[in-house]
Amino acid sequence: MIAFALQAANLPFTVALGIMCAIALMEALGALFGASISSAVDTLMPDADLDIDIDVDGPDIDAPDLDGIGGFHGLLDWLCIGRVPVLILLVMFLFAFGISGLLIQSTVFGLSGWLLPGFLASAPALAVSLPAVHFAGRGFEKVFPKDETYVVSEASFIGEVATVTLGTAETGQPAQAKLKDRHDRTHYVQVEPDEPGERFETGSQVLLVRRDRAVFKVIAATGALVSEDW
């Protein structure tokens, strides 16, 4: 088994498992001396909260395209970064990547008698390990304190009810609105009607239905959707 793991084609997976073991050993040694590598890594991580509020009320201001940021932000949120210590997520990734890669290579070798090049076997291993990190992170999230830094994708605001707080939202003229995310944090966004001719004055409650760059398109929030929190 050791000879198989040390084959050149299996080195990406063997190295991943080796790094995982080294991290676990350092964390254990750190615990003996009252230090936490996990806490140190989380402290060094940049703030992952990328929520950006942009005032686009002025007619001469063009809102930047935030789709790329939103996509990266959503990936961080999906991987539970900010809600679970980064070191735990890294260990889970290394374990899933290493084990799945070796299993893939073992299966291929059993069927054909040869091994895939490491870079080819890494693609399906990566496809397995990322969802594994997601589901493991969701599980760990339930046992960790809720004072972690939360990462919230702006895409998650779709379907939420917001209240117009500044200005009147009209087509081509966004207004400021506020909403609460699933962690009960308040966010301020720019909104304008999804249908031409509609307008929402200050105090109106609106439902975010889609995003157009930095502006959310909204419709009137009626019935059970209307929030009583504001």
Q: 141, 171, 204: which is the final residue of a domain? A: 141
Same-domain check for residues 209 and 99: no
Residue 146 domain-assigned? no
Same-domain check for residues 13 and 77: yes
Q: 116, 141, 166: which is the final residue of a domain? A: 141
Same-domain check for residues 116 and 193: no
Domain count for the chain? 2
Other CB atoms within 10 Å distance of the CB of residue 105? 23
Lowest mean pLDDT among 46-55, 84-93, 158-167, 206-215: 46-55
Same-domain check for residues 178 and 112: no
Pairing of strands 186-193, 215-220: parallel
Same-domain check for residues 81 and 193: no
Instruction: Give residue 116's domain range.
Output: 2-141
Same-domain check for residues 20 and 129: yes
Residue 15 domain-assigned? yes
- Three-state DSSP at 190 gives strand
Residue 151 domain-assigned? no
Residue 73 domain-assigned? yes
Overall average pLDDT of the 130-154 stretch: 72
Residue 230 domain-assigned? no
pTM: 0.50
Rounded-to-integer distance, Cα 152 and Cα 227, Å: 20
Same-domain check for residues 216 and 113: no
Overall average pLDDT of the 50-69 stretch: 40
Same-domain check for residues 120 and 166: no
Residue 150 domain-assigned? no
Same-domain check for residues 113 and 205: no
Overall average pLDDT of the 160-185 stretch: 84
Residue 171 domain-assigned? yes
Give the pLDDT score at 52. Answer: 38
Residue 178 domain-assigned? yes
Q: What are phi and psi of 26, to 5 degrees?
A: -65, -40
Same-domain check for residues 191 and 95: no
Q: 115, 141, 167: which is the final residue of a domain? A: 141
Note the pLDDT tens digit of each residue in 175-225.
Answer: 888 888 777 778 888 889 988 888 898 888 898 888 887 788 888 887 545
Same-domain check for residues 20 and 133: yes
On the question of pLDDT at 129 being above 90, the answer is yes
Question: What's the Cα-to-Cα distance from 74 to each of 31, 83, 199, rounded to whole Å?
Answer: 33, 13, 30
Task: Write the single-letter amino acid at 105.
Answer: Q
Same-domain check for residues 92 and 134: yes
